């Protein structure tokens, strides 16, 4: 192996999320570990949601990226613990999300209190920055997003919900 772990991590850190291309799989927190063995490289990832259809694309992109850097033998390991959380998302990633038109997850951890607490108090509209917004549905265009609409500019928008 001609590469160090850090170099391989760098290759992988640049892979964009297939559905939200402004953030990378590293910023999202899906990329967990890289291990170099004599005969192969093991890349450990964790799913955002158990049924996330993007996971297969993550795997394909990781293998493609390493192949294009001459690393042929790649194994993908999926881990479930610790469970993925939006807390792992960096501030930089959150900024990029908002610029892209998706309201980033508000503050730490899950929206606890399991009944009748519909999301965080204020979600800011990524278009006009108004906090006068309304939750329309806990389930948006993908499992990780909720649907909001802005009462100020009247635009609907996706909110990356806390989990």
Partner 1 sequence: MTTKEALINYCLRIGDTSLILGQRMSEWCSNGPILEEDIAMTNIALDHIGQARTMLTYAGELEGKGRTEDDFAYKRHEREYYNSLLSERPNGHFGDTVARNFLQSAYFYHLYSALSSSKDNMIAAHAAKSLKEVTYHLRHSAEWVVRLGDGTEESKEKIQTSFDEIWEYTGDLFEMNEVDDVLIKEGIAINQTEIKAKWDKTVDEVLVRAKLQRPKDAYMHSGRLNAIHSEYLGHLLAEMQFLPRAYPDAKW
Q: Which two tokens stand for residue 150?
A: 């802005």
**Cβ proximity of 133 and 149 under 8 Å:** yes
Write the binding mask 99 to 138 for partner 1: x where contact by CB under 8 A, - elsewhere: -----------x---xxxxx-----------------xxx
37 contact choice in partner 1, Zn ion, none (CB below 5 to 8 Å, kind-dependent) = none
Out of 36, 147, 153, 163, point to the residue binding Zn ion (CB under 5 A).
153
Q: Which two tokens stand for residue 131?
A: 């906090």
Q: How far is the CB of 25 from partner 1 (least distance, A)?
A: 18
Distance set, CA 99 to CA 10, 65, 93, 132 (Å): 24, 27, 10, 18
Q: Does 149 bind Zn ion (CB under 5 A)?
A: no
Q: Does 128 bind Zn ion (CB under 5 A)?
A: yes
Nearest of 96, 76, 91 to residue 32 by alpha carbon: 76
Q: Specify the pairing of strand 133-137 against strand 145-150.
A: antiparallel
Q: Does 140 bind partner 1 (CB under 8 A)?
A: yes
Nearest of 106, 109, 72 to residue 87 by alpha carbon: 109
148 contact choice in partner 1, Zn ion, none (CB below 5 to 8 Å, kind-dependent) = none
125 contact choice in partner 1, Zn ion, none (CB below 5 to 8 Å, kind-dependent) = Zn ion
Stretch that binds partner 1, among 25-33, 75-83, 98-106, 126-134 (CB under 8 A): 75-83
Cα dihedral angle (133, 112, 90, 31), rounded to 10 degrees?
Answer: -120
127 contact choice in Zn ion, partner 1, none (CB below 5 to 8 Å, kind-dependent) = Zn ion
Give SS3 for 4. Answer: coil
State the residues that interact with Zn ion by CB under 5 A. Answer: 125, 127-128, 130, 150, 152-153
């Amino acid at each position: 192996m001609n590469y160090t772990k850090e170099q391989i991590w760098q290759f992988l850190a640049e892979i964009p999320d297939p559905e939200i291309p402004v953030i990378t799989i590293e910023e999202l927190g899906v990329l967990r570990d890289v291990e170099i063995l004599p005969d192969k490289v093991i890349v450990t990832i964790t799913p955002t949601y158990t049924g996330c259809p993007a996971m297969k694309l993550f795997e394909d992109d990781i293998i493609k990226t390493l192949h294009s850097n001459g690393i042929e033998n790649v194994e993908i390991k999926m881990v479930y613990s610790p469970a993925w959380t939006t807390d792992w998302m960096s501030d930089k990633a959150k900024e990029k999300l908002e610029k892209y038109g998706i309201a980033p997850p508000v503050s730490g951890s899950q929206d606890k209190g399991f009944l009748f607490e519909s999301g965080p108090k204020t979600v800011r509209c990524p278009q006009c920055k108004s906090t006068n917004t309304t939750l329309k549905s806990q389930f948006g265009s993908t499992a990780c997003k909720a649907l909001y609409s802005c009462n100020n500019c009247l635009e609907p928008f996706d909110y990356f919900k806390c989990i």
